[in-house]
A and B are shown apart, each in its own frame.
Chain A
Amino acid sequence: MRPLDENETTVVFEKIFKFVGNNLKNIVENPSHEGPESDPGRYCFRLQKNRVYYASESLPGLPRDLHREVHPRGSFHLTIMSLNLLAANAKHKVWLKPTSEMSFLYGNHVLKGGLGRITDSIVPGDGVVVFSMSDVPLGFGIAAKSTQDCRKLDPNGIVVLHQADIESI
């Protein structure tokens, strides 16, 4: 297990930035509350077996923490394990109506008809975290349309492209 090198770090940060925006700072510098010692160590990114882990510095051994996956070709995918972290810091959120929760969990994209609420100023291609109406994070995806366009869409238009949801663990 080793720390990330330059390229990897940029790739990772970029991806996270899509979802989290300026809150990236929060993630990187979040004081860790884990570990038996009372002084917080920082969280850091570590690489093992093509997977990037986000773990507390003070944890020795194998951190079983939220992780993301590095594709062999070098691109970087966020796995569902990272949902907790993303959800806390997400800039763009989408809330689903109860009726379309299950549909999203089965892997379908989010249609306009299932949209409950949506944050403003979404640009197509942004990372979006999907919630249920009770603020339970369900997964994440990529925005297909901007917020303005969504309003004009017909009910069957795709709003969010499904990337990962909590049923896939």
Chain B
Amino acid sequence: MPALTRNKKKGAKSQTPPLIKRTKSNPTPPPKKAAKSHKPPLKKQRKGVSDEKPEVSNDEEEEEEEVSEQSDEGDELGSDFFSDGDEEEDTEPLGDDFLDGNDDEERTLGSDSDSDLEKESKAIDEERERQERDAKDELQMNIKEQPDEFRLPTKKELEEEASGPPDLPALQTRIKEIVRVLSNFKDLRPEGVKRKEFVEQLKADLASYYGYNEFLIGTLVEMFPPVELMELIEAFEKQRPTSIRTNTLKTRRRDLADVLLNRGVNLDPLSKWSKVGLVVYDSQVPIGATPEYLAGFYMLQSASSFLPVMALAPRENERVVDMAAAPGGKTTYVASLMKNTGIIYANEMKVPRLKSLTANLHRMGVTNTIVCNYDGRELPKVFGPNSVDRVLLDAPCSGTGVISKDESVKTSKSANDIRKFADLQKQLILAAIDLVDAESKTGGYIVYSTCSIMIPENEAVIDYALKKRDVKLVPCGLDFGQAGFSRFREHRFHPTLEKTRRFYPHVHNMDGFFVAKLKKMSNETKASEGDEPVETKEQAQLSSDEDDDDESIKELKKPSGANVDMNKQRISISKANNKGKKNKNFKTENANVEGPRKQKKKRSQWKAEIAQAREDKRKVMRENTKEPGRR
């Protein structure tokens, strides 16, 4: 019997070759349909039934002969049709007999043995219907076993989990379930459970499954909705594709691609926004050791590092400063854009990194660069303020955008680290702005970039710069990124912040990156009559936290005289246009109170000021608490 069935199957195969392709793309339905495949050949002969099913199941039977045996064995979830294989074996013999009979004769309905046939066929039909019903019931049952309603583990369960090693598959399922619930919380939430609990559980699970520390996973959860969060985290687990940048000082992209293809490197142009980028899929020779690399024809550089230089767009015969240049990928790109004209000052603070910087410069044939070794914050003193045309500041950062390259970032960065980086970045960006000459004929631009996705390191720094200097944001020229945040949770930044660009690994397939381009409008700094008060003010601002109250009190304490008052006044006036800032009310009030005071201050008067400030603060807090209500 089985042998005959097989033959029949093969016969059917020759009839329906094109359909085979279709089923090959649907692996899951076949296992079940294969089991039921025995029926349709019957039906074919009978001509009564739908044409679709026979064809489809014919494919499956041909395709998955082994699978039919599997399906006979067990129940499987998610089956569309029959989940019970046993009954089909019963029908097989029937089918065989029937088929054999038909093969021999040409039969039409209405011959003598019709009534028998009819009875048999009816019986078979009823069998089939019964099986369908059973299957549906079983499906329902199976679905119910995985309840639609997901419930969070109880404390006891959590303790049990914590005592042993983490059960990764269970964690993963739970994570998926929570994300599913959170993405449609209104409909899918179980009774009486708050969203917060789900979020907390998700944080804990993600932290233990992927290896993040609490702080980092908490910030990511705040920044992204659950589904996107999963995409981001998955993207961080994988490597981004290796990319290289053609050195246009020595060769063209097309020529380089030819040479490398000859060497057995599998590559493609990077994307349409770059004329010099190539992405390497795989290579027979190590891509960092070919003679072309050694001769400086290309540079191994990640795609996201092209972006700040493209935004900077240096022209020939300009003076450009790269404040954090090592290992020199961006510096060499700038040089090749400038065609080795003009001057580039490549600054790097750490001595061990200088070597790699100079090596790269030499290798790529860059001749217009001067390497120096200063702390970036000192550069305005070294070069003199307002002396260069453009500045590129690829600031040292927490590296949260390049977790795919460095997993240790997941566990090593805390809120304190971010704050320290943010302070450093604020000082550096002010130095960068001071270096640039606003009156420059061709330039006057600063590009600030980080390989981090944290808001305190990106938007907050730019916002700080906007407040402190006469600069404005201009479009980067990179249309394909996501706009930066101009508001986030309780922070309110300048509205033009949306001209900055953010890049994410799960959206753009590049490392996480942030780019902002500023234009210097004038060489004045907003808040000063002379240099000193500005510095003290900056230090006051920098050394404090985001807490505005602390800032103001520290300013009051500085023995600076009239300048401080006038500074505050100016700042408050310039800030008056910003809406929704916690700062605003307090500072304006303060300035108004302080303005008319005498210039010389004694300690007792300072104390009075401080007391006054506290009173004002209390008043303002009261008003502030009222305001949201009013709105």
Contacts and interface: CB of A to CB of B under 8 A. Distances in A.
Interface in A62-103: 62-66, 81, 84, 101-102
Given A62-B371, A84-B365, A33 B295 contact: no
A105 B294 contact: yes
Interface string A29-52: 000011110100000000000000
A138 B295 CA distance: 7
A72 B368 CA distance: 29
Nearest to A32: B367
A137 B368 CA distance: 21
A166 interface: yes
B326 to A, nearest CB: 13
Contact of B295 (A61, A65, A137): A137
Contacts of A63: 370
B370 A34 contact: no
A33 B359 CA distance: 22
A61 B341 contact: no
A55 to B, nearest CB: 9
A134 B446 CA distance: 40
Given A136-B291, A166-B295, A64 B361 contact: yes
A36 B440 CA distance: 13
A39 B341 CA distance: 12
B370 A64 contact: yes
A65 B343 CA distance: 12
Interface string A128-142: 000010101110000
A34 B343 contact: yes
B358 interface: yes
Contacts of A136: 291-292, 295, 297
Contacts of B370: 59, 61-64
Contact of A166 (B294, B340, B342): B294
Given A33-B340, A34-B341, A34-B368, A81 B362 contact: yes
Contacts of A167: 294
A36 B443 CA distance: 13
A101 B285 CA distance: 14
Contacts of A102: 291
Contacts of B343: 34-36, 59
Contacts of B371: 62, 64
Interface residues of B, number: 27
Given A35-B343, A36-B342, A36-B343, A64 B295 contact: no
Contacts of B319: 36
Contacts of A81: 362
Nearest to B292: A136
Interface residues of A, number: 26
B455 interface: no
A38 B372 CA distance: 24
B496 interface: no
Interface of B is mostly: mixed
B259 interface: yes
A116 to B, nearest CB: 14
Nearest to A168: B294
A20 to B, nearest CB: 18
Nearest to B285: A102
Contact of A34 (B291, B340, B358, B363): B340
B256 to A, nearest CB: 11
Contacts of A38: 317
B318 interface: yes
B336 interface: no
Contacts of A56: 367
B336 to A, nearest CB: 14
Nearest to B317: A36
A62 B343 CA distance: 11
Interface in B335-386: 340-343, 345, 358-359, 361-363, 365-372
Interface string A2-14: 0000000000000
Q: Which of A101, A102, A134 has the most CB of B within 10 A?
A: A134
Contacts of A65: 367
B10 to A, nearest CB: 54
Given A105-B291, A136-B291, A169 B359 contact: yes
Contacts of B294: 105, 138, 166-167, 169
Interface in A103-135: 105, 132, 134
A34 B367 contact: yes
A62 B372 contact: yes
A88 B297 CA distance: 16
29 contacts: A34-B340, A34-B342, A34-B343, A34-B367, A35-B368, A36-B317, A36-B318, A36-B341, A56-B367, A59-B343, A61-B345, A62-B370, A62-B371, A62-B372, A64-B362, A64-B367, A64-B369, A64-B370, A66-B362, A84-B365, A102-B291, A134-B259, A136-B295, A136-B297, A138-B294, A138-B295, A166-B295, A166-B363, A169-B359
Interface of B: 259, 291-292, 294-295, 297, 317-319, 340-343, 345, 358-359, 361-363, 365-372
Given A34-B340, A169-B363, 14 more contacts: A34-B341, A34-B368, A35-B368, A36-B342, A38-B317, A59-B368, A62-B371, A62-B372, A66-B367, A84-B365, A136-B291, A136-B295, A137-B295, A166-B291
